[in-house]
């Protein structure tokens, strides 16, 4: 009985240590994984899909579009991972304190960072992975191994957009190739003999099985990039929503966790304080703030 209690406890501790190491410390593991997956997809696309599509006389610009998106994505990835997200230091602390006002709900005046020993500016947060306080902190991204803050949010948005476009474009070209193969073979009008010896018309399931047996790697890659497109597309839409409403992921999570609402007319549960997003300035200005973060001089002019 003692062993049955001790072993699960040790496993839990080991699991927690591994998760803490990977998600709460800076590590290049996810960067390597990200590059490896991207290389595997593009290798399959180059050596099989591109060649087959070229033989079927697909337009060259269409086939080269994933490579153009890849070049843009690599550039955004480097900028996002290398750029200063908005590190708060003693030299810029006074100026960053003047950028945003405290809303009194998510961000309280006088809150000190126990690690950096400085008062936290509004919309900032201490990142445990990087060990720094970040201005307009959004989240720590393990895929770029850097925090996402005021000064590299635009690079992250472009990185995410190009990554989604890459997956979607490869999925579209690959699906078009497989559909082209089915149409050329006139497979949908064929018939086959099943295991019971009965003649049946070809259906979608039969076509998918046939394509998987004929092009196993291509079909597997197509399924992977379709799933990737759906996941990245949903995250991209969420990031766009945050940008248009002038929120960060950190603020969105904190407002939901506290049971807050962005609409002052809605009554919160259990009579909690209603939160109104005081940082939103309209769709256009909110989007502009992502690509051109406000400075002290701009704040004074307003």
- Please give the pLDDT value at position 299: 53
pTM of the model: 0.83
| Closest C-alpha to 166, from 33, 67, 62 | 67
Q: Are 251 and 107 in contact (CB under 8 A)?
A: no
Residue 95 C-alpha from the chain's centroid: 31
> CA–CA separation, 297 vs 102, rounded Å?
19
What residues contact 296, with CB distance under 8 A and at least 6 apart? Answer: 95, 98, 99
- Please give the pLDDT value at position 184: 86
Beta strands in 135-245 (DSSP E): 139-141, 146-148, 191-193, 199-201
- Rounded mean pLDDT, 269-296: 82
Q: Per-residue pLDDT for 167 more than 80?
A: yes
Least confident of 3-7, 110-114, 133-137: 3-7
> CA–CA separation, 157 vs 235, rounded Å?
10
- Please give the pLDDT value at position 185: 82
Provide the angle, in degrees to the nearest 10, between the axes of the packed helices 60-82 and 153-185: 160
Q: Per-residue pLDDT for 5 more than 70?
A: no
| Closest C-alpha to 121, from 133, 131, 139, 138 | 133
Q: Are 144 and 159 in contact (CB under 8 A)?
A: yes
> Is 133 one of the annotated active-site residues of the chain?
no
| Closest C-alpha to 85, from 20, 129, 33 | 129
- Please write down the long-range contacts of 94-97, taking CB distance under 8 Å and 24 or more positions apart: 95/296, 96/121, 96/124, 96/135, 97/121
H or E element in which residue 118 lies: strand 118-119
Q: Is 31 exposed, middle or buried (0-12, 13-18, 19+ CB in 10 A)?
A: middle
Q: Per-residue pLDDT for 20 more than 90?
A: no
- Rounded mean pLDDT, 91-105: 92
Least confident of 64-78, 258-272, 287-301: 258-272
β-pairing, 118-119 vs 125-127, is unpaired
Q: How confident is the model at residue 177 (pLDDT cuts 50, 70, 90)?
A: very high
- Please give the pLDDT value at position 116: 93
Q: Which residue has the tokens 């990554």?
A: 163
- Please give the pLDDT value at position 194: 66
- Rounded mean pLDDT, 202-206: 77
- Token pair listed for 157: 């948005």
> CA–CA separation, 226 vs 98, rounded Å?
45
Q: Per-residue pLDDT for 202 more than 80?
A: no
Annotated catalytic residue, options 127, 133, 141, 147: 141
Distance (Å) of CA 268 to CA 105, 170, 196, 228 = 14, 45, 63, 36
Q: Per-residue pLDDT for 100 more than 80?
A: yes
For the chain, the domains span: 24-84+152-251+277-300
Q: Are 122 and 93 in contact (CB under 8 A)?
A: no
Distance (Å) of CA 11 to CA 7, 8, 166, 222, 254 = 6, 5, 39, 37, 31
Q: Per-residue pLDDT for 131 more than 70?
A: yes
Q: How confident is the model at residue 264 (pLDDT cuts 50, 70, 90)?
A: very low
- Token pair listed for 238: 């969420």
Q: Per-residue pLDDT for 241 more than 90?
A: yes
Mean pLDDT for all residues in the chain:
85
pLDDT digits (tens, 9 = 90+) for 37-72: 999 999 999 999 999 999 999 999 999 999 999 999
């Amino acid at each position: 009985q003692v062993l049955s209690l001790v072993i699960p406890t040790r496993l839990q501790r080991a699991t927690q240590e591994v998760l803490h190491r990977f998600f709460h410390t800076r590590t290049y593991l996810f960067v390597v994984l990200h590059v490896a997956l991207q290389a595997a997809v593009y290798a399959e696309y180059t050596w099989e899909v591109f060649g087959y599509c070229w033989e079927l006389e697909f337009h060259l610009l269409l086939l080269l579009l994933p490579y153009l998106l890849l070049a843009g994505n690599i550039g955004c990835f480097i900028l996002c991972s290398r750029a200063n997200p908005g590190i708060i230091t003693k030299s810029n602390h006074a100026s960053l304190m003047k950028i945003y006002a405290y809303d009194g709900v998510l961000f309280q005046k006088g809150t000190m960072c126990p690690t950096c020993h400085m008062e936290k500016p509004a919309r900032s947060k201490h990142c445990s992975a990087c060990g720094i306080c970040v201005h307009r902190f959004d989240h720590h991204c393990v895929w770029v191994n850097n925090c996402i803050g005021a000064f590299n949010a635009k690079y992250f948005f472009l990185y995410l957009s190009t990554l989604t476009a890459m997956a979607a474009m490869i999925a579209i070209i690959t699906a078009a190739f497989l559909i082209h193969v089915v149409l050329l073979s006139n497979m949908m009008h064929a018939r086959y003999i099943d295991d019971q010896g009965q003649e049946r018309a070809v259906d979608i399931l039969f076509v998918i099985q046939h394509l998987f047996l004929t092009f196993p790697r291509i079909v597997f890659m197509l399924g992977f990039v379709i799933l990737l497109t759906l996941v990245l597309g949903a995250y991209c839409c969420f990031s766009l929503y945050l940008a248009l409403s002038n929120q960060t992921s950190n603020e969105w999570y904190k407002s939901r966790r506290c049971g807050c609402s962005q609409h002052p007319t809605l009554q919160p549960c259990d009579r909690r304080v209603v939160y109104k997003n005081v940082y939103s300035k309209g769709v256009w200005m909110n989007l502009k703030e992502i690509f051109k973060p406000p400075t002290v001089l701009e704040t004074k002019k307003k």
